[in-house]
C-alpha cells in the first residue's frame, strides 16, 4: 500500500472558536494601547500658552512633560503680530501628530518714561504728548491728561500725564504747565525800501528779522505777489509777523526794480612799486562805487606777480555790480632789488602804532585823529629830497625812523597811519606832462567810513602857505591858480569831495 494512500494523509487541524478569540483580543489590545498613547500625546500638549509681549515662544512651551519626543510649531509665527495683546490659533506637531492650540499674547508691564515742564500761550495749550520726552514699552503707548488743564488760569498749574499701553497698563507722571497771556504783537525790523535789478532775485527776507516779547519763534512771511522782477517799477511788499498767541503786525514797504546798464567806477587804481620780498595790499588803495548797487564786487588778478623776482608785472582790477555790469582796469607793479636792508612789516607797524598811541586815543573822532596826524608830521618831520620811492612802506618807515623825506615820504607815513587806524584812503600822484616836471604825491582820506573823501597833504608847500588837512577839490583848484598844475591829476580816477 502506497504511502500516498489516503490512509496515510494527515488532516490539517481546524481552527476552533478559541483561536479567533485570541486574535480578536490581541487586536483589541493593540487598538486600546494606540488610543491610550494618542490620548496621552494629545493630553501632553497644552491647549493654551500665554506669553508676554516682546518675549519668544517655542514648541517646548506647549509640552507638559518632556518625553524626549520631537515637537515643533507648524504655524508660521512671523506672520502673527506678537507685539499686540491678543489670541492666535497655532498648530503644534508632537510625535508626528498635529495638535491645535491657542497662543495668548498679554501685556502686564506698565510703560516707563520721562516728562518735561512746558510754557505755553493761552490760545495754544499743548497736548499730553507734548510733555513726554521719552517712553519705553513693548507696545504702542498713548498719552493723556488725568484732568484737562484749565486754560483760563495764568501762571503755573500741575498736570498729570497718563501713559497707557495696549495692555491697559498705565503710568502717571506729574509736570508743570505755565500759561502765558500774550497781547503784544511782534516787531519787524529791517523791512526797508529796496532796489533790485531787472530779472534778478529780490532777496526780500535778507536782513529782515522779527522779535517778540514772549515768543522766540514768531512766524515771518512776506507778500511779494505784486512784484514783477521783469518790469521796471516800484512795487509794494508787505511783511507780516504772527506770534504763538495770534498777535500780528504788518509792515508795508517798496521794492524798486531798475534796469542798470552802467558799470561801476574803479577809483584809486594806479601803478605800484615794491622791493623784492615785500608784501603788498592790492585792495587798500582802491575803492569801487556804483550808481545803484551799494555793494559792487571787486576782484583782483595778481596771479602773474612774483614778489621774489625783480620785474614789472600786470595786475587787473575788475569791478562788477549786481546787474552784471563790469569794468576792468590794468595797472602794473614793479618789483625792484633793495640797495639796503629793509625793515620788516612788523617793525614798520610797531613804529607807526607807537606814534599813534601818543597822539590819538579811542575817544577821539576820526576827524580829530586825522588832524592829530597832520600836526605830528608838521612838527616832527622835515623835507629832504633823499627818499626812495620804490616802496611806500619803506619810505614811511624812513620818516618814522629818521624823520625826513620828500613828498613821497610825507604821503607814505600819513598813509601808513591812516591804514593802521582803519581809515579809508586813496593815493594820488600828480599827472605827468603838466607844467610841473617833477612828481608830487598826496592822499585822499575819509572820516565817515568811506562815504566821502577829502584831500590831505602834509608835505611843506611853496607859497601861498595853506593848511591842506581835509580840504575840498575847490581848495586844490584855488592852489593851482597860484602854483600852476601843482595839484593836477586824473579826476576820473577819484571821487569828488563835498563842496565844503
pLDDT at 291 over 90: no
Averaged pLDDT, 81-89: 90
pLDDT one-digit tens code per residue, 388-415: 888 899 999 999 999 999 999 999 999 9
Considering the segment(s) 265-336 as one domain, its CATH architecture is Sandwich (2.60)
CA atoms of 440 and 406, how far apart (whole Å): 9
CA atoms of 59 and 419, how far apart (whole Å): 88
Residue whose C-alpha is closest to residue 425's, from 457, 466, 381, 387 = 457
Other beta carbons within 10 angstroms of residue 438's beta carbon come to 9
CATH T-level topology, domain 45-106: Immunoglobulin-like (2.60.40)
Select the CATH number that applies to the domain covering 345-493 from these four: 3.40.50, 3.30.450, 1.20.1250, 3.10.620.
3.10.620
CA atoms of 34 and 40, how far apart (whole Å): 10
pLDDT at 34 over 70: no
CA atoms of 493 and 281, how far apart (whole Å): 19
Averaged pLDDT, 283-309: 88
Cβ pair 272, 331 in contact under 8 A: yes
pLDDT at 79 over 80: yes
Structural domain spans, the chain: 45-106, 112-180, 187-258, 265-336, 345-493
Q: What does 290-343 look like in DSSP terms, one character per residue?
A: -SS-SS-EEEEE-TT--TTS-EEEEEEEEEE-TTS-EEEEEEEEEEE--SSPPP
Is residue 304 very low, low, confident or very high in pLDDT (cuts 50, 70, 90)?
very high
Residue whose C-alpha is closest to residue 51's, from 101, 112, 97, 113 = 101
Cβ pair 436, 273 in contact under 8 A: no
pLDDT at 173 over 70: yes
CATH class held by domain 112-180: mainly beta
Residue whose C-alpha is closest to residue 403's, from 428, 423, 386 = 386
Is residue 445 very low, low, confident or very high in pLDDT (cuts 50, 70, 90)?
very high
144-174 in b/e form (b: 16+ CB < 10 A) is eeeeebeeeeeeeeebebbbbbbbebebebe
Average pLDDT, rounded, for the chain = 88
112-180 and 265-336 share one CATH topology?
A: yes
For residue 3, the model assigns a pLDDT of 54
For residue 287, the model assigns a pLDDT of 85
Is residue 323 very low, low, confident or very high in pLDDT (cuts 50, 70, 90)?
confident
pLDDT at 123 over 80: no
Is residue 495 very low, low, confident or very high in pLDDT (cuts 50, 70, 90)?
very high
For residue 473, the model assigns a pLDDT of 95
Helix axis angle for 407-421 and 366-380, nearest 10°, is: 150
For residue 464, the model assigns a pLDDT of 65
Instruction: Give the CATH number of domain 187-258.
Output: 2.60.40.10
pLDDT one-digit tens code per residue, 206-248: 999 999 988 888 999 999 999 999 899 999 999 999 998 889 9
Cβ pair 304, 314 in contact under 8 A: yes
Share of the chain above pLDDT 70, in %: 96
pLDDT at 424 over 90: yes
- The reported pTM is 0.52
CA atoms of 454 and 432, how far apart (whole Å): 22
Amino acid at each position: 500500500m502506497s504511502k500516498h494512500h489516503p490512509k496515510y494523509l494527515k488532516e490539517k487541524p481546524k481552527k476552533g472558536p478559541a483561536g479567533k478569540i485570541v486574535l480578536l483580543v490581541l487586536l483589541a489590545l493593540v487598538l486600546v494601547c494606540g488610543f491610550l498613547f494618542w490620548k496621552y500625546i494629545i493630553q501632553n500638549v497644552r491647549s493654551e500658552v500665554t506669553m508676554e509681549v516682546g518675549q519668544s515662544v517655542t514648541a517646548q512651551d506647549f509640552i507638559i512633560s518632556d518625553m524626549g519626543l520631537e515637537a515643533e510649531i507648524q504655524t508660521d509665527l512671523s506672520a502673527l503680530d506678537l507685539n499686540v495683546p491678543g489670541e492666535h490659533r497655532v498648530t503644534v506637531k508632537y510625535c508626528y501628530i498635529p495638535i491645535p492650540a491657542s497662543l495668548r499674547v498679554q501685556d502686564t508691564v506698565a510703560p516707563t518714561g520721562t516728562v518735561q515742564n512746558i510754557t505755553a500761550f493761552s490760545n495754544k495749550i499743548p497736548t499730553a504728548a507734548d510733555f513726554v520726552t521719552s517712553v519705553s514699552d513693548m507696545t504702542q503707548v498713548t498719552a493723556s491728561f488725568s484732568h484737562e488743564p484749565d486754560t483760563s488760569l495764568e501762571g503755573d498749574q500741575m498736570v498729570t500725564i497718563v501713559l497707557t499701553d495696549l495692555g491697559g497698563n498705565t503710568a502717571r507722571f506729574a509736570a508743570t504747565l505755565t500759561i502765558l497771556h500774550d497781547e503784544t504783537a511782534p516787531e519787524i525790523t529791517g523791512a526797508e525800501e529796496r532796489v533790485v535789478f531787472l530779472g534778478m532775485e529780490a532777496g526780500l527776507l535778507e536782513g529782515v528779522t522779527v522779535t517778540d516779547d514772549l515768543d522766540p519763534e514768531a512766524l515771518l512771511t512776506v507778500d511779494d505777489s505784486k512784484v514783477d522782477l521783469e518790469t521796471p517799477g516800484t512795487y509794494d511788499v508787505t511783511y507780516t509777523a504772527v506770534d504763538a498767541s495770534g498777535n500780528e503786525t504788518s509792515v508795508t514797504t517798496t521794492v524798486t526794480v531798475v534796469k542798470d546798464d552802467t558799470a561801476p567806477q574803479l577809483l584809486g587804481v594806479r601803478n605800484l612799486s615794491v622791493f623784492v620780498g615785500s608784501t603788498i595790499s592790492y585792495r587798500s588803495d582802491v575803492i569801487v562805487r556804483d550808481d545803484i548797487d551799494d555793494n559792487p564786487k571787486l576782484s583782483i588778478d595778481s596771479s602773474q606777480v612774483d614778489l621774489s623776482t625783480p620785474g614789472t608785472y600786470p595786475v587787473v582790477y575788475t569791478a562788477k555790480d549786481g546787474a552784471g555790469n563790469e569794468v576792468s582796469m590794468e595797472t602794473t607793479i614793479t618789483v625792484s632789488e633793495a640797495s639796503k636792508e629793509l625793515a620788516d612789516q612788523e617793525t614798520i607797524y610797531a613804529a607807526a602804532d607807537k606814534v599813534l598811541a601818543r597822539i590819538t586815543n579811542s575817544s577821539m573822532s576820526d576827524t580829530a585823529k586825522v588832524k592829530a596826524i597832520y600836526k605830528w608830521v608838521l612838527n616832527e618831520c622835515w623835507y629832504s629830497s633823499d627818499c626812495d620811492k620804490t616802496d611806500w612802506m619803506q619810505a614811511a618807515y624812513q620818516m618814522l625812523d629818521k624823520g625826513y623825506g620828500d613828498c613821497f615820504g610825507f604821503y607814505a607815513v600819513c598813509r601808513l597811519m591812516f591804514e593802521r587806524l582803519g581809515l579809508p584812503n586813496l593815493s594820488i600822484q600828480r599827472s605827468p606832462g603838466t607844467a610841473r616836471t617833477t612828481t608830487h604825491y598826496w592822499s585822499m582820506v575819509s572820516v565817515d567810513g568811506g562815504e566821502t573823501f577829502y584831500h590831505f597833504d602834509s608835505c611843506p608847500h611853496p607859497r601861498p602857505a595853506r593848511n591842506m588837512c581835509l580840504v575840498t577839490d575847490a581848495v586844490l583848484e584855488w592852489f593851482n591858480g597860484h602854483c600852476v598844475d601843482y595839484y593836477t591829476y586824473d579826476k576820473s580816477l577819484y571821487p569828488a569831495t563835498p563842496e565844503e
